[in-house]
């Protein structure tokens, strides 16, 4: 139960971050970092606790990645709204999560459970670090991105976008290999 509550709480961190970033004050940005850290800690703890307490559930396997996707998408949308991030980066990041969700559905239809891949875990770490790092840089810039701070934020977000795209490609290739392997096995029988 506790792991699922942590996942659900993370969903609500996204709108809080959006409101705080929209305030555009240093105080609100510092609070943003606190909320982001809480969201990242909940992401680390929910799966660990589910395994440790032996309370992993089908609901948890759905709500955890959904919470991750919704939380991070809302943070990136807040960055877009604040003018820190171009729309194409947000589109790549959100599209990857939609793609992976549908690949999991298609996998289930083929009798294959598509678990989390290493690329997805790497993507999550990069996105979390980059999101917090971007807010820290905005605070360091006094709340207005210009010059080197703007370049650094853009560079961080570009790295997160590339890692996210790579993860989407990795999931797609994994799906295609799984489906092809299943077809090969089925044809031998």
Q: Give this prediction's pTM.
A: 0.88
Residues 6+ apart with CB under 8 A from 7: 42, 46, 60, 63, 64, 66, 67
**Predicted confidence (pLDDT) at residue 184 exceeds the cutoff of 70:** no
First-residue to last-residue Cα distance in the chain: 42
CA–CA separation, 132 and 153 (whole Å): 11
CA–CA separation, 79 and 75 (whole Å): 6
Average pLDDT, the chain: 89
Mean pLDDT of 52-66: 78
Mean pLDDT of 4-12: 86
> In the chain, what are the domain boundaries?
2-184
Task: List the structure tokens of 14.
Answer: 């996204």
Give the rounded percent of residues in the chain with a pLDDT score beyond 90. Answer: 59
Q: CA nearest 72: which of 12, 14, 33, 150?
A: 14
Mean pLDDT of 167-173: 95
Q: Is 77 helix (H, G, I), strand (E, B) or coil?
A: helix
Q: CA nearest 138: which of 56, 83, 57?
A: 83
Alpha-carbon distance values, 134 to 6, 12, 102 (Å): 24, 20, 30
- The dotted CATH code for 2-184 is 1.20.120.1760
Chain mean position to CA 4: 17
Main-chain phi, psi angles of 116, to 5 degrees: -65, 135
Better-scored residue on pLDDT, 64 or 120 = 120
DSSP 34: H
What integer pLDDT is reported at residue 1 of this predicted model? 76
Main-chain phi, psi angles of 176, to 5 degrees: -65, -40
Chain mean position to CA 49: 20
What integer pLDDT is reported at residue 166 of this predicted model? 97
Alpha-carbon distance values, 91 to 20, 56, 65 (Å): 22, 32, 18
Better-scored residue on pLDDT, 104 or 114 = 104
What integer pLDDT is reported at residue 181 of this predicted model? 64
Alpha-carbon distance values, 85 to 44, 54, 115, 167 (Å): 26, 40, 30, 20
**Predicted confidence (pLDDT) at residue 185 exceeds the cutoff of 70:** no
């Amino acid at each position: 139960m506790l792991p699922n509550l942590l996942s659900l709480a993370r969903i609500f961190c996204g709108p809080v971050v959006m409101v705080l970033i929209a305030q555009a004050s240093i105080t609100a940005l510092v609070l943003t970092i606190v909320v982001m850290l809480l969201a990242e800690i909940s992401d680390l703890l929910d799966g660990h606790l589910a395994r440790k307490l032996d309370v992993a559930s089908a609901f948890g396997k759905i709500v955890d990645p959904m919470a991750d996707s919704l939380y991070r998408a809302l943070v990136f949308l807040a960055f877009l709204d604040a003018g820190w991030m171009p729309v194409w980066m947000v589109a790549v990041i959100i599209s990857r999560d939609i793609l992976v969700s549908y690949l999991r559905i298609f996998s289930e239809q083929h009798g294959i459970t598509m678990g989390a891949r290493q690329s997805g875990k790497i993507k999550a770490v990069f996105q979390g670090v980059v999101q917090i790092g971007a807010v820290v840089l905005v605070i360091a810039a006094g709340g207005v991105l210009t010059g080197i701070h703007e370049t650094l934020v853009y560079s961080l977000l570009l790295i997160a976008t590339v890692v996210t795209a790579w993860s989407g490609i990795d999931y797609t290739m994994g799906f295609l290999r799984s489906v092809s392997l299943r077809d090969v096995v089925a044809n031998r029988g």
